Amino acid sequence: MTPRGKIVIGALIVALLYFGINKLVSSGAVFKKADTQSVLLNSIELPTVAAGSRTNVVVPLAPLPGTTPAEKGTPVTWEIMAWNSQMAGMLANGGPRTTQSSSMAANGVDLQIVRQDDVAKMQADLVKNALDLQTNPETPGLIVSIMGDGLPAFSAVQSQLAKTGTGLQILPYSCGKSFGEDKLMGPQEWLDNPKAALGKTIACYLRDGDHNIALKWCADNGLKVNPDETTYDPEAVNFMAASDFLVAAEKYILGKPESRTKIVKGKNTGVKVDVVADGVATWTPGDVNIAKQKGGLVNIVSTKDYSNQMPNIMVTTKRWYDAHPTEVQGIMTALAVAGDQVKSHPEALERAADISAAVYGDQDKPGAYWLKYYKGVSEADRNGNVVELGGSKAFNFADNLTLFGLDNGGTNIYAAVYKTFGDVQSKLYPKELPTYVPLEQMLDLTILKKLQSQYKGKTIAPAETQQFADDDEIRRSVSKRAWNIEFNTGQSSFTPAAERQLSQLFDDLVVAGRLKVAVHGHTDNAGDPQRNQQLSEDRALAVEHWLEAKSASAFPAGRVQVYAHGATEPVASNSTPAGKAQNRRVEIVLGN
């Protein structure tokens, strides 16, 4: 045969192989055969190289899902907000409805993704779905995704679900989290001096995740908060209610004043004042709209700082969850497969962004828009000032083990987040949220533990971890707060009463997982100055050791730094017992 003939035949063979393999993959036959057996194992277990070499930590690129609807599997509806933390879910599904060759289809699920930005509507839809399932068990199930720190307030729907004979149930798997895009934006002076926010007003959707960011920042900086959005307190941080996160941004952009009754020391003065939104708690594209349409605000604090605050939590009803364990495991498996792909391969992330655009339906926001702000960028606002916009992360299987405390000796991070913000909201809004559902009534980790045991001893893609350098000082302070942690007189040992304060401190610091922690010890002026200096150091060290002993995973080496000041920095007069008590304190500074 001539050389030219060999080339022609070779080209034909290559073409046949290319189109044949593509047809086979698009048919779903290859994925069905492999994935129905052990899709999680095949997709998240990492290949190893020859003995003595390092393990390959790069997950191989899997074929991207097709675009043709699968039209088979157990039907489920997933209501979501326009939020970039759902990239893994987008890729897992292949489109607004499950497509052929997607990991969701491989696990026998036919998922319809629907945008729903109204949390109250999500709650109502869950109640309706519970009623529909009661009369017809074949009704498609409903899952909704919310901000994890907002679940305590969301759990108020439990009383309505109880009337239908069921309750809330969490799917024990998160597809991702906010990592910067949810934030408090305010004037530069708030960043330089948090007390400058007193007497100012923040627009936000109340009793949800972005509101929580503002509340935590206020608490961490010792700022008084006015929980009544209909009044104005010049000595507190005030809030302006918005119907959703985009409307919150509009309130600042438009600058329309609201008439409020002025209160002083809790007393109604009868005086009317006009207030405008001085700052905003929002997320993408709210932050982008503020920067592009008006500007003037900077990031005060975000979920990049409070890095554990806002995982994407999926909830459904116990009625559907208990009746569909196979589908629940299938959804979790599909998300694990897609999470590794989104985290490891630009092609997979780009595809997920295109699917996001199709789901969210904003004509002016193509896939490239969601991709850009998923990664997070620094851009100049309308006034030429640079501001950070966007930022989210996808989770893989190991990230979920860390989130729910199933890694080696780990802390249930989500439990700390849930309690922290449940307590805050319940305290501020006793009428709207007199109590909230205990997490253990909604969260069962059995399926996640089952998957964990299935891959015990296997090499899986690692979770992201935060590294801290021992000698790296805090350069940007996010907050500073004095804690009244009681010590035995003249000693560095804790009193029994200190346990409550330490537990609250622990939960607060777990939420702010990316920030370094500086523990500053102070004493009153009683006794020898040198002895007081040593005592202040011993007490600060005692706090550090308590935190690290409670959770080595939440407080790795280098995260906590200790400083001793003795009696040199009093905050009150040492001439009275009350003043001395104020000076015997531990101050916690968070920053990076």
What mean pLDDT comes out for the span 165-189?
A: 97
Q: Tell me which CATH code domain 74-180+308-454 carries.
A: 3.40.190.10
For residue 67, the number of C-alpha atoms closer than 13 Å in the C-beta half-sphere is 4
- Alpha carbons 564 and 543: distance in angstroms, whole number: 12
Q: Could you write out the DSSP letters of every residue in 155-175?
A: GGGHHHHHHTT--EEE-S---
Q: Is the pLDDT of residue 45 over 60?
A: no
Chain segment 403-428, per-residue pLDDT in tens: 999 987 789 999 999 999 999 999 88
Q: Is 277 helix (H, G, I), strand (E, B) or coil?
A: coil
Whole-number pLDDT of residue 254: 98
Whole-number pLDDT of residue 58: 65
Q: Is the pLDDT of residue 201 over 50?
A: yes
Which option is the CATH number for 183-302: 1.10.3470, 3.30.70, 3.30.750, 3.40.190? Answer: 3.40.190
Whole-number pLDDT of residue 29: 36
Q: Which of 165-174, 187-196, 445-454, 456-465 bottoms out in mean pLDDT, i.e. has the lowest?
A: 456-465
CA angle centred on 523, ends 519 and 524, rounded to 5°: 155
Q: Is the pLDDT of residue 365 over 80?
A: yes
375 forms beta bridges with none
For residue 282, the number of C-alpha atoms closer than 13 Å in the C-beta half-sphere is 32
* 265 DSSP 8-state letter: T
Cβ atoms 278, 187 nearer than 8 A: yes
Identical fold for domains 74-180+308-454 and 183-302, yes or no, is yes
Q: Residue 58 corresponds to which tokens in the numbers above?
A: 């790069």
What mean pLDDT comes out for the span 477-485?
A: 91
Residue 87, phi-psi category: left (phi > 0), alpha (psi -120 to 50), beta (remainder): alpha
Chain segment 297-327, per-residue pLDDT in tens: 999 999 999 999 999 999 999 999 999 999 9
* Residue whose pair of structure tokens reads 């690129």 in the numeric block: 61
Whole-number pLDDT of residue 149: 96
Cβ atoms 249, 289 nearer than 8 A: yes
- Alpha carbons 329 and 14: distance in angstroms, whole number: 39
Query: pTM for the complete prediction?
Result: 0.87
Q: 477-591 has which fold?
A: 60s Ribosomal Protein L30; Chain: A; (3.30.1330)
Chain segment 181-190, per-residue pLDDT in tens: 999 999 999 9
Q: What average pLDDT is seen over the chain?
A: 89
* Residue whose pair of structure tokens reads 């679940």 in the numeric block: 151
Q: Is the pLDDT of residue 42 over 90?
A: no
Whole-number pLDDT of residue 108: 97
Whole-number pLDDT of residue 59: 86
What mean pLDDT comes out for the span 522-528?
A: 93
For the chain, what are the domain ranges?
74-180+308-454, 183-302, 477-591
Chain segment 248-294, per-residue pLDDT in tens: 999 999 999 999 999 999 899 999 999 999 999 999 999 999 999 99
Chain segment 84-116, per-residue pLDDT in tens: 999 999 999 999 999 999 999 999 999 999 999
What mean pLDDT comes out for the span 525-535?
A: 94
Whole-number pLDDT of residue 21: 32
Whole-number pLDDT of residue 410: 85
What mean pLDDT comes out for the span 567-588?
A: 93
Q: Which of 39-48, 55-64, 115-124 bottoms out in mean pLDDT, i.e. has the lowest?
A: 39-48
Q: Is the pLDDT of residue 18 over 80?
A: no
pLDDT band at 214 (very low <50, low <70, confident <90, very high): very high
Of 566 and 457, more confident = 566
- Alpha carbons 447 and 325: distance in angstroms, whole number: 8
- Alpha carbons 247 and 250: distance in angstroms, whole number: 5
Chain segment 47-87, per-residue pLDDT in tens: 333 333 333 456 899 999 999 999 999 999 999 999 999 99
What mean pLDDT comes out for the span 447-469?
A: 89
